[in-house]
Amino acid sequence: MNEVILDGENLTIEDVINVSRYKLPVQIAESSRNEIIKVREYIEKNWIRSDAPPIYGFNTGVGKLKDFNISVEDNDLFQKNIILSHCGGVGEPASEEVVRATMVVRINAFCQGVSGLRIEVVDRLVEMLNKGVHPVIPIQGSVGACGDLAPLAHMASVLIGFDAAEAYYEGEILPAPEALRRAGIHPINFQLKAKDALALINGTTMFAGMAVLNYSDAAKLLKEAEASASLSLEAMRGEPSAFDERIHLVRRQKGQIDSASNVRRIVQNSERITEDARKVHLKHDVLHPEYQPRVQDLYSLRCVPQVHGACRDNLNYVREILEREINAATDNPLVFWNEQGELDFLSGGNFHGEPIAFAMDILAMSLAEIGNISERRIFALCDSTLNYGLPPMLAGEPAGLNCGYPVISCAAAAIASENKTLCFPASVDTLSTKSNQEDHVSMAPWACRKTKQIIDNLPKIIGIEYLLASRAIYITRDVLGDFKLGAGTQIAYDVLLEAIPFTDNDTYMPFLSKGAIKLAESGEIVKKIEASIGVLI
């Protein structure tokens, strides 16, 4: 695929990822172009004139100032005033991939032809996106209703070529006019007309783009967590019967069935999780001086499909919400053809970000749970009363002189706890703004941002689990080395051994932990597993 065609109806999550991360260009569908032009021609003929009735956003003020009329003569200045006054964002700039996701979602919303802006505005935004002019947008300042006013105003300030606005271009942050000039976008100073400004800044756009990026990263992390859980199952010689397909089919939960299938495939043909391997007595197993059948494992091993599966089901719900939202018209007012062939303008609340706020809160809780159950396996790997004979703290001999891995396991606990506090739902928090004109808001942008923090944290926990599980296998290589690992876990272990310079004795922990965490962040382990055994669900 060389470009993404935008028609307001068929944008996919994968399209947004390809545009935002891999710089695929976009083009407006001809049908959408024709509709935008047709609608605007009607508006200019019938609504942008001195005797037109009050129409919000066309010839009236906005927000609490909706009762003030705007003359035809003042409308051009009014458009500029809207943009400049609404540039109220603060904080660090959003990443370029977030900005690109924002731009493509906004353009696609216009392609439904119900926003009422001029085609020249849409074309300019397309040109900026395709030529790599990415507005500098402060990440804080939006409450998620009316949509993303401040972030989108910063985007629009670059579009109009305002001197003090800034944009990324070819790795530099430049004044907007210079970025536009270097990209060959003309004219530098671009005049907005009636309704252009409001259409540009009013919509659930930046947080929808952020949510798509979060979803994509979360889907990859779920596979990563199933790989690390499988390696822990091998490390502790766990019971594979808990993953038997029959158990999960009678629960009828799709995510659970898929998760169990992934683990079965990753550990397929393992000899380390057999009864013969469990019969081998490890000297530190003081709780079981004689062999006894394991029967069943800790919940953090046995219930991986149930916990991961519930998170998978939540992820599917999030995907459904996002697929609708990135193909939604979310500005206000909107215009629609009636049976008489005339346009009706309707004021509504499609800019309210509640669907995204709920979706991101649910995603945050799901990812935190993936981290929670991973941290419990990390704890078990270090605890000689839980790990069936692995050395205490996975320390080399002599234990005591060697300290092992207690503090890096505490790091996982610290991060898991941090994630829990990030799960306070943004969607139930609201503050009245703008003189109570906007008396209930979604806080969807914060829901997206705190979910992103959990996404950034989770690979650290998974990486620590990779580290400790591979350490457990490494340190028992003399007594259990004849029992081969599974089809996928052997690959994971081999990749980890290449990155982690294990020794029997203590060493500087970052020498070990950084490599494992980097692998969890990069997705390299899952990629190599899938290259060997096929794509995981």
Q: Whose CA is closest to 263, among 314, 319, 312?
A: 312
Structural contact between residues 104 and 209, judged by C-beta atoms closer than 8 angstroms:
yes
What secondary structure letter does DSSP report for 6? E
345 vs 114: CA distance, rounded Å: 9
Instruction: Give the burial class of 526: count Cβ atoms within 10 A of its Cβ; 0-12 exposed, 13-18 middle, 19 or more buried.
Output: buried
Question: What is the Cα Rg of the chain in Å?
Answer: 28
Whether 405 is catalytic is: no
**Where do the H-state alpha helices sit in 422-476?**
444-475
Q: Whose CA is closest to 267, among 289, 295, 238?
A: 238
410 vs 379: CA distance, rounded Å: 8
Structural contact between residues 99 and 139, judged by C-beta atoms closer than 8 angstroms:
no
Structural contact between residues 496 and 519, judged by C-beta atoms closer than 8 angstroms:
yes
What secondary structure letter does DSSP report for 167? E
115 vs 43: CA distance, rounded Å: 11
Give the 3-state secondary structure of residue 97.
helix
273 vs 474: CA distance, rounded Å: 16
Task: Tell me which of 56, 299, 388, 508 is the catalytic residue.
Answer: 56
Structural contact between residues 255 and 261, judged by C-beta atoms closer than 8 angstroms:
no
CA distances from 180 to 120, 154, 167, 169, 355 (A): 16, 15, 9, 9, 35
Give ∠ CA 368-370-374 in degrees, rounded to 5. 115
What secondary structure letter does DSSP report for 241? G
Structural contact between residues 389 and 399, judged by C-beta atoms closer than 8 angstroms:
no
What secondary structure letter does DSSP report for 26? E
Structural contact between residues 108 and 6, judged by C-beta atoms closer than 8 angstroms:
yes
Instruction: Give the burial class of 362: count Cβ atoms within 10 A of its Cβ; 0-12 exposed, 13-18 middle, 19 or more buried.
Output: buried
Known catalytic residues are 56
